Structure 1
Amino acid sequence: MNAQQLDLTTSALAQVLTFRQPADVVLSAFFRRERKLGMRDRQEIAETVFATIRHLQKIQKMLPKPHQKPRRAALAALVLGRGISVHGAESLCDSEEKQWLIDVKEQKSAFASDLTTAAELPQWLIECLQQQGWDDNQIAIYGRSVMQPAPLDVRVNTQKGKRDKILSALQAEGLRAEATPFSPWGIRLFDKPALNKHPLFLDGVLEVQDEGSQLLALLTGVKRGQIAVDFCAGAGGKTLAMGAMMAGSGRLYAFDVAEKRLANMKPRMVRAGLTNIHPQRIDNEHDARIARLKNKADCVLVDAPCSGMGTLRRNPDLKYRQSNDNIWTLLEQQQSILQAASELVRPGGRLVYATCSILETENQQQLNHFLAANTGWHIEPVQTLLKSNVLPDMQGDYLQLNTGEHHTDGFFAAVLTRIK
């Protein structure tokens, strides 16, 4: 990093570290203002900003209000997160800053012995994990696992290709790629190529989707000719996977409250060659337009709005933008959405409740609440549904993916069958 890049990083961090907006949104706006920056400059700035967020607990120990001293925060991120020695950063520092960096490095053993800095998790999240029975070692392992940037997972559109052939073609191009261990459709790319310009992406053969998200679609078990609903569809990653499982037949309704997210889905549908998907914006989970599907759906997927604590590899700032108060608000919303979605399922049909969270309050406890209020539902053990794709050491009837163990985002899923 050169001096100009450090100054720009400092300017970006002054905004990012207030955590009023998502870090990627702030950076995108920052780069739009700094239009003359080249690709290398943008990469250096972005990597240092995210290194700052990933090591913020350590930085805060030395710098209690880092957003007020973003230059020092950036220098600390170079040393703590990007592997640059104090000597290597010397040309960017004055003598006082250099001594401060030396002091930061000397705290290495203290950082390792304190759980918040060892795990790089805020106190509120540590307390949540402790309340659900995690010990300090489990918390530290989890925290370290989500500090690592995620690889790029893609899903092969089975309407347009077979995974083995596509994987071989990618490897023949010299890309580091391997089959995902749990999803039968997934390929993991390790060097993050510019996939949006790749012919296989442009032709709809490949779609970017985390392996954990692919497994949620797999759990729906949707088949040709059925009526299915993706109740909180977002931009449609799981919708597209379900559409491919249905071989483009039947009817798949994609509901969401955000018109923009649904609009982003439409070009993806065209690329994928799927004509059985029907996007529909709704005002909320009680929208009258949903009522026509009551008791008619063979399968309903509810990927509920949640804290996102399973996605910290991709969104490390989220743990500083969330709080216990936010989660309590989410719990009410999740219960309302799950109840409304369940009313669309026909007798004998399937309901899949999912979150991208590791917090039991959003997961198992929500299922317990639903089952206590609703008779006539049977829990389907996830192990039997995944068959040959069973995950190692999976306990209980639910799916709970752990980034450290499964190398996916931390998704949760429960599958219920309506028996009357």
Structure 2
Amino acid sequence: MSQVSPSRFIRVHQRVQQLQEVMLLLKGWQQPADAVLAQWMKNQSALGGRDRAELSDAVFALLRHWRLFEQLTHSAGEQQPRQMALLALAELHGIEAVSQELEAEDQAWLKQTLAVDTANLPFAQRFSLPDWLAEELQKQAEPEALAAALNVEAGVDIRVNPMRADRKKMLATLQAGERAAFNPEAMRYSPWGIRLEGRPTLRHWPEFEKGELEVQDEGSQILAALVAPRRNELIIDFCAGAGGKSLLLGALMRGTGKLYAMDVSAARLERAKPRFARCGLDNVNSMAIAENDDKRLQRFYGKAQRVLVDAPCSGLGTLRRNPDLKWRLRAEEISQYVELQQVILQRAAKCVAPGGRLVYATCSVLPEENEQQIQTFLQACPDFQVVPVNEVLKARIPDLLMQGDYLSLRPDLHGTDGFFAAVLVRTAVTS
């Protein structure tokens, strides 16, 4: 046994035990991992804030590499969960920090296991993917780079409220004080974005409380540049959710015109209202709509200058933030999302005015939900045409250049979540 302090030894071994308990609850993949972890922690009154954060990080490291760890420990029998937990801790803290607190046998096993060359393992095991998703990613350009990037934890993306703050001044403020420890930097593409490292408690920051800052992934911020809202327009955020995109759209409209935040979930829209108030927006109208035909939408037909459809999707572009999703999602669910997206897109299209703009987006990397979805839509709605995305980006984000007509963001190439968007214009209204 290594000569380590008793308190440190107990803490590490307790962490392994805790990870095993959480692993048992995760198996079956019926609930999101953060919900499972939060429920488990409710009964752990002795855990301090630092312990909770460390355990959460270890759980998500385990989720990212679950299948690889299973492969590396496949001969461990009853000890497999314990060994997988050790690998997760080594992934998080490094082999030296973990192995020095283990008995000689475990030290030797950990060193030997982490020295295994995984390059010859099948793609699915090497990058910890279910077989069906491994097959889908291998159809993409540079699949290994994409799969590897989806397994790297994302930073924290925030943005300024353009109605209340200037990014340059905000960066100077954040870089001058204690918050410089989070290494705030201007985003590569979004003109409003700031990227942070670590886990800042943003809700306690005065700038957040005053509505000067919001949390939003860079890809989602870029959507606002594609919508390109103008003052005094009628704009619809058709799948508004909790209102993150509506917040930026409303701010770019400078509080003028009318912005309708629509969603089938009244509860999500209700949660968005305090955010709108905090950010000083009074031009946003929340509207819960029915999942099927909603006759109230008829009054918007052919009237909105801009309509954004950030459609419900598989979310596979967000695996950096939600690694458990690849284990919870089933291949057959993709076709269900595709059908739903088709319905939503055609409903939203009816609201676009002649000459108006329709922006369709997903946080997916699958062509079925993206390029193929647009092709299907254009066949059904010939009065719409694709606008090459570079023509739209050059006004605000000239450094972001796409190879084709669509926005296609990848974590390995752009440092964002996987994101897709298409910009379309309505040329005429058909009968």
TM-score by structure 1 length?
A: 0.92
> How many Å apart are 1:270 and its aligned residue?
0.8
Matched, 1:250 2:257: yes
* Counterparts in 2 of 1:88 and 1:191: CA distance versus 1, 3 Å: closer
Q: Does 1:6 align with 2:6?
A: no
Post-superposition offset of 1:40: 1.6
Q: Kindly report the root-mean-square deviation, in angstroms, between the aligned alpha carbons of the 2 structures.
A: 2.2
* Superposed displacement of residue 325, structure 1: 0.2
Which letter maps to 2:132? W
- The code of the aligned residue for 1:267 comes to P
Shift of residue 353 of structure 1?
0.3
Give yes or no for the alignment of 1:161 onto 2:169. no
1:61 aligned partner: 71
Using the alignment, how far apart are the partners of 1:112 and 1:209 within structure 2?
Answer: 38
| Structure 2: runs of 5 or more not aligned | 1-10
Residue in 1 that maps onto 2:86: 75
Q: Matches of 1:240 and 1:66 in 2, distance apart?
A: 51
Are the structure 2 counterparts of residues 180 and 248 from structure 1 closer, same or farther at C-alpha, using a change threshold of 3 Å? Answer: same
Measured after TM superposition, the shift of residue 88 of structure 1 is 3.3
Offset, 1:400: 0.4
Alignment correspondent of 2:8 = none
Deviation track 1:137-161 (CA, whole Å, cap 9, x = no partner) reads x221112212221111111111111
Q: Within 1, Cα distance between the matches of 2:109 and 2:372?
A: 46
1:221-268 per-position Cα deviation (integer Å, ceiling 9, x unaligned): 111111111111111111101001111111111111222221221111
Question: SS of 1:150's equivalent?
Answer: coil
Map of 2:154 onto structure 1: 150
Q: Aligned AA for 2:65?
A: H
Matched AA of 1:221: A
1:285–1:340 Cα contact (<8 Å) kept: no
Identity value in percent: 43
Question: TM-score normalised to the size of structure 2?
Answer: 0.90
Matched positions, count: 413
- Which position in structure 2 is the counterpart of 1:125? 133
Point out the more displaced range, 258-267 or 327-336.
Answer: 258-267
Offset at residue 375 of structure 1 (A): 1.1
Distance across 1 between alignment mates of 2:314 and 2:77? 24
1:412 counterpart residue number: 420
In the TM superposition, 1:104-143 aligns within 5 A as: 104-106=113-115, 108-111=116-119, 113-131=121-139, 133-134=140-141, 138-143=142-147
**Correspondence for 2:4:** none
- 1:20-71 Cα distance to aligned partner (Å, 9 max, x none): 1111111111112223310121122111111111111211213459998533
Specify the alignment match of 2:6 in structure 1: none
Query: Alpha-carbon deviations, 1:138-191, whole Å to 9, x = none?
Result: 221112212221111111111111111111111112422111121111111223
* Aligned counterpart in structure 1 of residue 410 of structure 2, from 397, 402, 414: 402
Q: Take 2:291 and 2:45, find their aligned partners in 1: how far apart are those partners?
A: 39
- Asked if 1:31 corresponds to 2:41, the answer is yes
What amino acid is aligned across from residue 143 of structure 2 in structure 1? I
Amino acid in structure 1 at the alignment position of 2:419: F
1:89-109 Cα offsets, whole Å, 9 max, x none, are 3645695x6665455334x21
Deviation at 1:391, TM superposition (A): 4.7
Q: Select 2:366's aligned residue among 354, 359, 362.
A: 359
CA distance in 2 between partners of 1:13 and 1:364 (Å): 37
Instruction: Please list, as runs of the form range in 1=range in 2, the aligned pairs for 1:374-393 lying within 5 A after superposition.
Output: 374-387=381-394, 388-392=396-400
Any residues of structure 2 matched to 1:327-338 within 5 Å, and which? 327-338=334-345
Q: Aligned in 2, Cα 1:9/1:94: closer, same or farther, shift over 3 Å?
A: farther
Kindly tell me: are residues 252 and 113 of structure 1, through their superposed partners in 2, closer, same or farther at Cα, counting changes over 3 Å? same
CA separation of 1:34/1:195 partners in 2, compared to 1, >3 Å: closer, same or farther? same
Q: Retained in 1: the 8 A contact 2:316–2:365?
A: yes
Q: Which runs of 5+ in 1 are unaligned?
A: none
Partner amino acid, structure 2, of 1:150: A
The alpha-carbon deviation at position 121 of structure 1 amounts to 2.7
* Distance (whole Å) between structure 2 residues aligned to residue 88 and residue 295 of structure 1: 62
Q: Is the 8 A contact 1:55 1:80 kept in 2?
A: no
CA distance in structure 1 between the partners assigned to 2:197 and 2:91 by the alignment? 23
